[in-house]
Amino acid sequence: MGQRYEAFHRRSIGDREGFWAEQAKLIDWHKPFGQVLDYSRPPFARWFIGGQTNLCHNAIDRHLATQAEKPALIYVSTETGEERVYTFAELQREVVTMAAILGSQGVGRGDRVLIYMPMVPQAVFAMLACARIGAIHSVVFGGFASNSLAARIDDATPKVIVSADAGSRGGKAIAYKPLLDEAIRLASHNPARVLMVNRGLAPMDVVAGRDLDYETLRAKYRDADVPVVWLESNEISYTLYTSGTTGQPKGVQRDVGGYAVALAASMRHIFCGNAGETYFSTSDIGWVVGHSYIVYAPLIAGMATILYEGTPIRPDAGILWQLVEKYQVSLMFSAPTAIRVLKKQDPALLTKYDTSSLRSLFLAGEPLDEPTARWITEGLGRPVIDNYWQTESGWPILGLANGVEQMSTKLGSPGVPMYGYDLHLLHEQTGEEVGANEKGVVAIMPPLPPGCMQTVWGDDERFVETYFTTIPGKMAYSTFDWGIRDDDGYYFILGRTDDVINVAGHRLGTREIEESVSHHASVAECAVIGVADSLKGQVAMAFVVLKDAAAAADPAEAARLEREILAVVDRQLGAVARPVRAHFVTALPKTRSGKVLRRAIQAVCEHRDPGDLTTIEDVAALDGVRKAVVGSDG
Ligand code: PRX
């Protein structure tokens, strides 16, 4: 770590208030804040007390004076062939219109709006419209199906849901409306209105009195004027659900001012983006990267942002680089899986286009393996910067602050602790600091910096309980990741400490998948684990004990049951959560106290030594897992 950055980081911890007061100058405040940090109720941190600001104002309105006619949102769909550039002025028009539509349905400050959308500009309009009027948006990833969606509807209790007839993947329409209708039927909460964007991709059943047509209302409110609602810095901007150890997803809740400052600061110090340039993140608006680095951060920085609907290999594996050339992209953000997908394609496509506008490619969301990092760094001839963070943090925890001081990358490491994070590696059992090159839990000493989650939506207790009580003897925020630090202060992430898995950069809770598998009438018990996969990082695999063990004896019947079980997950949670296999076993390996030994199952699946098995109840159960896996490998 360089001296300059070291001092910068030290100050961010030693003089939190001074440091963040300076960063706060990067955004517009309608009314200045009085106090920088209120930490009177640990571990809850409140930033920029009394200050009034607005995310939509900072993302759009404040740029109108200087760059109204410059591109703000660049929409590209290789699925439908649509391509459209919205200037800041045009984006403002659309957002204000959307705000007027939401307002006409009674949505106001503090009301929730659930957004269940494919990658279409209206999804961004809806997010920014909520931000403009102080409504709280809750975007649900379009790859989730009815049961996942229903759980989120019940938790967020939205007044309005914004959705579309369909998404599209690989040229095939995926109808959203039937999933949404089913989710509303399953949920106990009923939204008053459902605003539908009709892309003409799939037929829709319209529910009279509830469903509204976006284009009709857009025409009606085309000239509406909806002023920005100034919000106290600690009001809620959005909730975003993420998976944890339990089956019930957590609504990560964020503020307004802290988030705006954190994103603006990250654009300056970590991403090094400037107004007038173009940012291209290949993520989805349903994930945190989409919130922070498709929508809010680039726009707050006055950059144009690309919203891309499509895969990295269609029409061919040169599409991302073609877009870089066409829109003169300066900064790109993607996930290791996307790069591993490209690695399997014609390497000539990597150099076919002029990518000289690109300064850096940032990758996050899952471990970046060295061969992939090397391949893309050499192929592109540009710095590839791994960075590590979580839905909870909203912006990088580990990375390189090249805007403060040029720092060297280390293959396999997402970098060093970012400013504002008082990061430690703690011993799982003793809570003591571990030494250099020793494995520990990556933990943050509170207060968490601006931009991080305020709490779990509607459940302060769960926030404290989940994140701040697992490390013995200390009130420290656990990331639930294992890490190790080398002598130079660079961290390496070694996987999760809990039951969360990471499939192609998508964070999934195995408990949620287990609950879904158990919905099949023939299932007595099951365990879902993550197994290493060369393309997706991890894939989910299910081990199922049937009520009638004999049912799986006949291979044809077993195959039919497996298909059925996987279809249940598909229907309830979505294809993103579907295990690659459901293996039938007669018993699950458990401890004597009845806890399923997931780590031992995982080790067996990955052909590793399962380690210490002294607590196992029945060794034969693990052999059963081994046989099931070997049988399918062979
Ligand atoms: O396990 C870590 C992994 O992804 C988790 C967070 O996922 P999510 O909440 O979806 O947020 C993603 C934001 C980029 C982490 O707890 N993870 C994220 N980035 C990395 C990573 N693992 C290794 N290296 C990374 N760069």
- Report which protein residue has its CA nearest ligand 1's atom 7: 390
> Rounded to an integer, what distance in angstroms lies between the CA atom of residue 513 and that of residue 175?
22
Distance, CA of 409 to chain centre: 24
pLDDT of residue 633: 58
> Rounded to an integer, what distance in angstroms lies between the CA atom of residue 94 and that of residue 161?
18
User: In this structure, are residues 239 and 136 in contact, taking their beta carbons and an 8 Å threshold?
Assistant: yes
Tell how far the Cα of 514 is from the centroid of ligand 1, in angstroms: 22
Sign of CA dihedral 22, 8, 266, 63: positive
Torsions phi, psi of 508, nearest 5?
Answer: -135, 145
Burial 165-189 (b: 16+ CB within 10 A, else e): bbbbbeeebbebbbbbbbbbeebee
> Rounded to an integer, what distance in angstroms lies between the CA atom of residue 597 and that of residue 613?
9
pLDDT of residue 313: 96
Distance, CA of 555 to chain centre: 39
Closest residue by Cα to residue 281 from 315, 342, 95, 271: 271
Tell how far the Cα of 179 is from the centroid of ligand 1, in angstroms: 28
> Rounded to an integer, what distance in angstroms lies between the CA atom of residue 290 and that of residue 468?
27
pLDDT of residue 619: 87
Tokens 């990250």 correspond to 266
- Report the residue among 252, 288, 481 best suited for mutation to probe ligand 1: largest number of ligand atoms under 8 A from its CB: 481
User: What's the token pair of residue 68?
Assistant: 């109204």
- Report the residue among 388, 418, 456, 494 best suited for mutation to probe ligand 1: largest number of ligand atoms under 8 A from its CB: 388
The alpha helices in 503-596, defined as continuous H runs, are: 510-517, 555-572
pLDDT per 10-residue tile (average), the chain, 634 residues: 92 98 98 98 98 98 98 98 98 98 98 98 99 98 94 97 97 96 97 97 97 98 98 98 84 98 98 98 97 98 98 96 98 96 92 97 95 94 97 98 96 97 97 94 98 98 97 96 96 93 92 94 95 95 94 92 96 94 95 89 93 86 92 62
Phi-psi region of 15 (alpha: psi -120 to 50; beta: other; left: phi over 0): beta
Ligand 1: lining residues by beta carbon, under 6 Å: 242, 287-289, 364-368, 386-391, 414, 479, 481, 493, 496, 502, 507
| 8-state DSSP, 388 | B
Tell how far the Cα of 506 is from the centroid of ligand 1, in angstroms: 9
User: What's the token pair of residue 118?
Assistant: 């494919």
Give the contacts of 172 (CB within 8 A, at least 6 positions apart): none
pLDDT of residue 249: 84
pTM of the model: 0.95
From residue 46, alpha-carbon distances to 137, 145, 307, 420 in Å are 20, 35, 32, 14
Tell how far the Cα of 536 is from the centroid of ligand 1, in angstroms: 14
